Amino acid sequence: MQIESYVCGAWHRGSNDGRLVSNAITGEPIGTVSSDGIDFAEVRRHGREAGGTALRALSIHDRANRLKALAKHLLGHKASFYEISAKTGATKGDSWVDIEGGIGTMFSYSGIARRELSNEPFSVEGDVERLSAKGSFLGRHILVPKEGVSVHINAFNFPCWGMLEKIAPSLAAGVPVIVKPATPSCYLTEAMVREMIASEIFPEGSIQLICGGVGDLLDHLDEQDSVTFTGSASTGRKLRTHPNIIENSVPFNMEADSLNYSILGENAEPGSPVFDLFIKGLVQEMTVKAGQKCTAIRRAIVPQNRIDAVTEALGAALDKVKVGDPAVEGVRMGALVGTDQREDVWQAVGQLAESCEIVLGGQRDFEVVGADIEKGAFFPATVLRSDNPLENQAPHAIEAFGPVTTLMGYNDRDEAIALAKLGRGSLVGSVVTSDDEEASAVVLGTAAYHGRVLVLNEDCAAESTGHGSPLAPLVHGGPGRAGGGEELGGARAIKHYMQRTAVQGSPTTLTAVTRQYTPGAKPVTDVVHPFRKYFEDLQIGEQLVTHRRTVTEADIVNFGCLSGDHFYAHFDEIAAKDSLFEKRVAHGYFVISAAAGMFVDPAPGPVLANYGLDNLRFIEPVGIGDTIRTTITAKEKIAKDKKPDDKYHTGVVKWAVEITNQNDEPVALYDILTLVEMRGE
Ligand code: NAP
């Protein structure tokens, strides 16, 4: 069988003599992998012209809705992915992380894009920047999709998650993807991409797949394209310094080897809850995916006087981990992805053993359940110990990408922090302690060297996602050895594929460009009250200036009685004179309530509900005798999809509200959000 690529709208078979990939458990051949015959310039052109053009025509929310539909579609086919995943040596739990963890990330990105970004083909970012004294010249940032492709070169350990966590933000951004999975497990990626293409949820050209080498693809990229790489530091360095990548300043995000630490707190007694949590976390990180996790704990940093107790507890826990064919009942750790990888890990353990002592595992002959130890890519859980970890650099620099960790002792907190930093930049660190003062010192002491730090103790353990799990809303990446890149991190990852451009001009021009009202822009007025208009009929910039109202003492007294708020600034003449305001003033909440009374149109109409208020600022006090008036302006419209159970089809309208006094000075500024019915014709 040949593992195929999907390029230029068709499935492509390479030559017959491609690289052979085998079942990690049985060693049986699965197929050959070759990208021979692919015209890589054409692949990029197809991505740009077919995929890019179609994606950029969709709004961000439309792309996000398709992500959700695609995630649902893939979930519906998960059983077949689990079946194939077993061939990579994965247990059911490992496959869950890869398959459902990846699909979950896609769901998350659908939500993040709809919640945090504009419902336009582009997004508007941050506040309006005032650049002139009179306010006729302003600036604001927009983010537009890059007009190229994003090339994702992935590692072998997460053939599904590794793809999905990158394509979800890219597709949400409106940038087509070219996925290049690592060869040893590309057959699982291929199966998932087949379902994506068959679903026809994303336009043709949005998703292409290259199984095998990428040929001269990198030579064809330019400033509109980007590359994200996950894999070994040596390959990453080679690709990052590719002459064309440098020549065209092609953004290159790199995630590479990472020697993540976990520190056991200074006062953790053997048998205490934190001690047990530390051991449990370490065993989990060693055995999930047979330790082939970029976030696995490679360096276990423990108080010097606890080394023996930790070794003993680890030994007891690892003894219970049966290694073998995950299809056999009771097996908890499967195989590495292939025998080449097994030899790589043996080599790394050999190098580590030159300066560290193997204290658990490390023998080539060990019990394998339900499979042939020679044919499958099995590896025993192995623990080493470094006795001079401040001087011995090997465990801080050599990554054995399997079920392998090195124990090292520390004498005081500063030493623990110094050891953590010797990893020279990692994806994640963790400290297991109930002492928040220690936690704070370790987090602040090691954060500059790490992309994420977990503090684990009894308070959060039951719900903690653990040391090794990257999460969609949080950054995944690390400085230095870890590649210096950033993935995930919520909307940040979507923006990575977009160009941030500062737009300068008049308020009216900025309103037209951003499709959001900019204060100072020429308003749109109409004799019809804006609350009587359906969502589609409202124009951005549509404005209502209300009648005036003079605030009286009776207003203050009535509002105080109604709300129960008898704060001295409203009710105590003497204290109010000494206050910041030097007089009694109206309640701020009265002022905004009075404003609502001025701007609403009371009869039933298309405005169905007021569901929030943002950015409220009270600027000037309102005293007895002051006269206020309100201006509301339609600032932004966000169309919503109608769900089957929804009674109405609605959109959200954000209104800028300004309350002014008799001197035309603003006294309060805020945004209100209303749910407005659509005509839906
Ligand atoms: P690798 O050998 O560096 O390969 C990574 C990817 O690069 C594969 O898709 C590989 O394709 C491709 N590649 C290799 N040479 C290339 C070239 N000249 N041009 C274009 N692409 C090329 O790494 P690996 O063995 O797959 O993965 C293990 C390593 O990944 C470990 O060191 C681990 O630390 C790291 N990793 C890091 C993270 C992270 O998030 N930081 C996550 C997972 C893994 P082929 O397979 O076809 O050669």
For residue 409, CA distances in Å to 304, 360, 405 come to 4, 16, 13
Instruction: Give the Å distance between the CA of 153 and the centre of ligand 1.
Output: 7
Atom of ligand 1 nearest to the CA of 482: 41
Match 């009648």 to its residue by tokens: 547
Between CA 42 and CA 48 the distance in angstroms is 10
Query: Across the strands, what pairs with 549?
Result: 628
Annotated catalytic residue within 186, 211, 294, 356: 294
| pLDDT confidence of residue 46 | 98
Instruction: Give the Å distance between the CA of 193 and the centre of ligand 1.
Output: 19
161 close to ligand 1 (CB < 6 Angstrom): no
Mutate to test the pocket of ligand 1, among 230, 345, 424 (most ligand atoms within 8 A of CB): 230
SS3 label, residue 170: helix
Between CA 223 and CA 390 the distance in angstroms is 43
294 close to ligand 1 (CB < 6 Angstrom): yes
Which residue, by CA, sits nearest to atom 28 of ligand 1? 231
Between CA 520 and CA 530 the distance in angstroms is 19
The token pair that represents 260 in the structure block: 């993540």
252 close to ligand 1 (CB < 6 Angstrom): no
Instruction: Give the Å distance between the CA of 351 and the centre of ligand 1.
Output: 21
| pLDDT confidence of residue 680 | 78
The per-residue DSSP string of 406-420 comes to EEEEESSHHHHHHHH
542 close to ligand 1 (CB < 6 Angstrom): no
Is the Cβ–Cβ distance between 652 and 615 less than 8 Å?
Answer: no
183 close to ligand 1 (CB < 6 Angstrom): yes
- Which of 318, 9, 18 has its CA nearest to residue 176? 9
| pLDDT confidence of residue 681 | 62
399 close to ligand 1 (CB < 6 Angstrom): yes
- Which of 641, 607, 566 has its CA nearest to residue 63? 641
621 Cβ contact list (under 8 Å, min separation 6): 581, 583, 585, 586, 667
Annotated catalytic residue within 125, 255, 487, 542: 255
Which residue, by CA, sits nearest to atom 40 of ligand 1? 255
Atom of ligand 1 nearest to the CA of 183: 46
- Which of 531, 527, 516, 493 has its CA nearest to residue 635? 516
The token pair that represents 227 in the structure block: 């590359």
Atom of ligand 1 nearest to the CA of 33: 47
255 is catalytic: yes
| Phi-psi category of residue 564: left, alpha or beta, with phi > 0 → left and psi -120 to 50 → alpha | left
235 close to ligand 1 (CB < 6 Angstrom): yes
pTM of the model: 0.92
| pLDDT confidence of residue 570 | 97
Radius of gyration of the chain (CA): 30
183 Cβ contact list (under 8 Å, min separation 6): 19, 21, 33, 156, 211, 212
Which residue, by CA, sits nearest to atom 33 of ligand 1? 257
SS3 label, residue 563: helix
232 close to ligand 1 (CB < 6 Angstrom): yes
The amino acid occupying position 653 is V
| pLDDT confidence of residue 56 | 98
Does an H or E element contain 271, and which? none
Mutate to test the pocket of ligand 1, among 294, 336, 426, 487 (most ligand atoms within 8 A of CB): 294
294 is catalytic: yes
Between CA 63 and CA 303 the distance in angstroms is 50
The token pair that represents 286 in the structure block: 């060693």
Side-chain half-sphere CA neighbours of 217 within 13 A: 32
Instruction: Give the Å distance between the CA of 411 and the centre of ligand 1.
Output: 37
407 Cβ contact list (under 8 Å, min separation 6): 300, 302, 307, 310, 311, 359, 383, 384, 385, 386
Helix (H), strand (E), coil (C) string for 474-534? CEEEECHHHCCEEEECCHHHHHCCEEEEEEEECHHHHHHHHCCCCCCCCCECCCCCHHHCC
Instruction: Give the Å distance between the CA of 232 and the centre of ligand 1.
Output: 5
Is the Cβ–Cβ distance between 21 and 42 less than 8 Å?
Answer: no
551 Cβ contact list (under 8 Å, min separation 6): 586, 590, 591, 594, 622, 623, 624, 625, 626, 627, 628
Between CA 509 and CA 152 the distance in angstroms is 38
Longest dimension (CA), the chain: 94
Which residue, by CA, sits nearest to atom 23 of ligand 1? 231
Which residue, by CA, sits nearest to atom 31 of ligand 1? 232
Is the Cβ–Cβ distance between 152 and 177 less than 8 Å?
Answer: yes
Atom of ligand 1 nearest to the CA of 341: 25
The token pair that represents 512 in the structure block: 């037209």
Between CA 167 and CA 23 the distance in angstroms is 27
Question: What is the set of domains in the chain, with CATH numbers?
Answer: 2-120+149-253 (3.40.605.10), 260-459 (3.40.309.10), 523-677 (3.10.129.10)
Mutate to test the pocket of ligand 1, among 160, 211, 235 (most ligand atoms within 8 A of CB): 235
Does an H or E element contain 680, and which? none
Which residue, by CA, sits nearest to atom 4 of ligand 1? 231
Instruction: Give the Å distance between the CA of 189 and the centre of ligand 1.
Output: 15
256 close to ligand 1 (CB < 6 Angstrom): yes
Instruction: Give the Å distance between the CA of 8 and the centre of ligand 1.
Output: 25
The residue ranges of the chain whose pLDDT is under 50 are: none
Instruction: Give the Å distance between the CA of 651 and the centre of ligand 1.
Output: 45
Instruction: Give the Å distance between the CA of 398 and the centre of ligand 1.
Output: 16
Between CA 644 and CA 667 the distance in angstroms is 43
